[in-house]
A and B are shown apart, each in its own frame.
Chain A
Amino acid sequence: MRPLRNRHLAADGPQPLQAAGPASPQVLDRLPRRPLDIRPSFLLQRLAATAVAVLGSISLVFCLVFATGSPATLLAGAQASREDIAALNALYGFDRPIYEQYGSFLLHAMRGEFPHSLRFDIPAFEVLAPAIPLTLLLVSSALVVGAVTGLAVGHLAATASSRLLREGPLALLTVVQSTPVFVTGILAVLLFSLTLGWFPTGGSGSLRHLVLPALTLSLLIAPPVARLFRTSLLQQRDKDHVRTALSKQISRTQVQLRHVAVNALVPVLALLGTQAGSLLGGAVLTETVFGWPGVGTVMVGAVGMKDYPVILAAVVLIAVTVSLCNLLADLLIAVVDPRTTVSR
């Protein structure tokens, strides 16, 4: 064999390995984790995508309103006087060319300004405002409960040693997945409120009021999370880097946690981002079933009363929330998986 030219290998024979230079102090601080570096370009790109989504969804709402033919009459109400419509036109320009209408609608919507509610005669957004925290409370508790349940069931389904534990809970969730959320709600009311009397049938005000709606809504998110986490765990388990980790002197539990489970979480985070929309949609139905006075209940009430300004405000509010959730999920993924900041 020809001699090697690598300077480190120039001297033959075994040598103690510790002989090399000391590490600089900063390196000590940095190992084993590199400080979080979300690239500005990635951040800008995600922010731009969010802005496009928000603007786009408001535009979509505008298109629908415009397609009805007479936005001013619609928003001023059937009983509106000539002056009412003139006042609305002065503010929103519904008598001006379409691009001006569009621009003005966009600007107002971004600031949360919509015409007065036809029912309460206060700005539409103020009708919604008291309902927002209630919806956020409902949705976030459902998200936490649903995600935790889904992850637990998914992990069981991928790793449990007994077949019953692997397949039972997942099969149960699969059945739940094809149950509409309002049916789940009604069954829950029938069982836990009317038959067992454990929880109130509806309304809000205490933690006990929150339990049934939150559980009902959580069942919307748990099945997809469980199924995806299971698939993802099984995929990660067979990856080459897991075999590499197994060749190291570390315990199987460590390999399972650091190299399988956390890696498998990345697609689940992406799923949670995309499920924000269906969760909020499900919240509308859940709130209706339980009379939970959130944004959904207000919106459905407004539909019944043909209170269009409030409906528009609610739709825009929901679209913005969904976009922000997607942004949040993207950033979370970037934290867990460094590749995303580059490859997206």
Chain B
Amino acid sequence: MSDRPAIFDSGGATPRPTRHSGFSLRGRLGLALILAWAVLALLAPWISPYDPDQSDLAAFMAAPSLADGHLLGTDDLGRDILSRIFHGARPVLVVAGLATLMSVAIGAALGIVAGYGGRLVDQVIARIAEIQLTIPGLVLALLALALFGSRLENLIIILALESWPLHFRVARSYTLNARSQGYMEAAWLAGVPHWRSVLRHVVPGLLPLLVATSTISAAFIVMTEAGLSFIGLGIQPPKADWGLMIAQGKAQLGAAWWLSIMPALALLSLLFGVQLLGDAVSSRLSSLEGGGEA
């Protein structure tokens, strides 16, 4: 997560806007994977071959096959795995999407405030972020969900609250840097109000950075959501969820590997898509920074 110096250091350089928005092949592949899952999740009730909660005791732990209609097999209750994977994409994407948006909003707002406000405000917010980072994300979420119950909204809130420090750090250092740049000082000398200066000179440059950090956050949130469901604290049975399905299939790994492996592959493809997209965004940003001065 912290191996993208191009993003974190970019307070120093100033990335340029993209006029020709040609993405690398990897980036497009990543975006396609994410969009594909979004479409499948949206259309899940109509494209699933079976009811995801319907037990079919005749086809109990059926192996994946083209012949009997259960393309990816069935689980230990005889439920169709493909249908459950389609439906299981919904909680993952809802949690990841909403929590990422919330965390970016919180982090960016606090970052701009800390970078623009006084030293005290800055110190206090930075300390809170630091403290939060001493408790690993998964552990903190585990505690919160154990205390407040494993509901979807709790899951979203806790994951959002956990992910803001990354966006905060980037927004803060970008704002601090922008504030000391000649163009911000010139705007102030010319009498441009602060809020307008922020909108005009800080936000446009910060947005591309936040796109990059939000892919990092999204990957973390997807992993943590699946991890929490895996240890029984996320989405609760009998609902379909990838992490939960992997956990439920774990006991049958020797007898029926597809119970865990099929949802795991779905999870991997989504995460891989996010990572590809994130890499493409970051490398685009750093190339803009590097080759920007003409």
Contacts and interface: CB of A to CB of B under 8 A. Distances in A.
Direct touching of A and B (C-beta under 8 Å): yes
Nearest to A274: B2
Task: Name the prevailing secondary structure of the B interface residues.
Answer: helix
B51 interface: no
Contacts of B250: 186, 289
Nearest to B254: A194
8 contacts: A56-B130, A56-B134, A67-B148, A178-B268, A186-B261, A227-B3, A231-B3, A274-B2
A190 B257 contact: yes
Interface in B111-169: 127-128, 130-140, 142-144, 146-148
A326 B133 CA distance: 11
A300 interface: yes
A122 interface: no
Interface stretch (A8-16, A76-84, A104-112, A317-325): A317-325
B147 A64 contact: yes
Interface of B: 1-3, 5, 127-128, 130-140, 142-144, 146-148, 219, 223, 226-227, 230-233, 243, 246, 250, 253-254, 257, 260-261, 264, 267-268, 271-272, 274-275, 279
Contacts of A194: 253-254, 257
A331 B148 CA distance: 38
A180 B223 contact: yes
Contacts of B231: 284-285, 288, 300, 303
Interface in A277-326: 277-278, 280-282, 284-285, 288-289, 299-300, 303-304, 306, 308, 311-312, 314-315, 318-319, 322-323, 326
A228 B2 contact: yes
A220 B2 CA distance: 13
A250 B16 CA distance: 43
Interface string A159-197: 000000000000000110111111100110110001000
Given A177-B275, A304-B232, A311-B143, A183 B268 contact: yes
Contacts of B133: 274, 277
Contacts of B2: 224, 228, 271, 274-275
A182 B246 contact: yes
Interface residues of A, number: 62
Nearest to B255: A194
B138 to A, nearest CB: 4
Contacts of A303: 142, 146, 231-233
A68 interface: yes
B134 A278 contact: no
A86 interface: no
A116 to B, nearest CB: 18
Closest 4 CB pairs of A and B: A281-B136, A56-B131, A227-B3, A281-B138
A328 interface: no
A318 B268 contact: no
A65 interface: yes
Contacts of A49: 130
B139 A183 contact: no
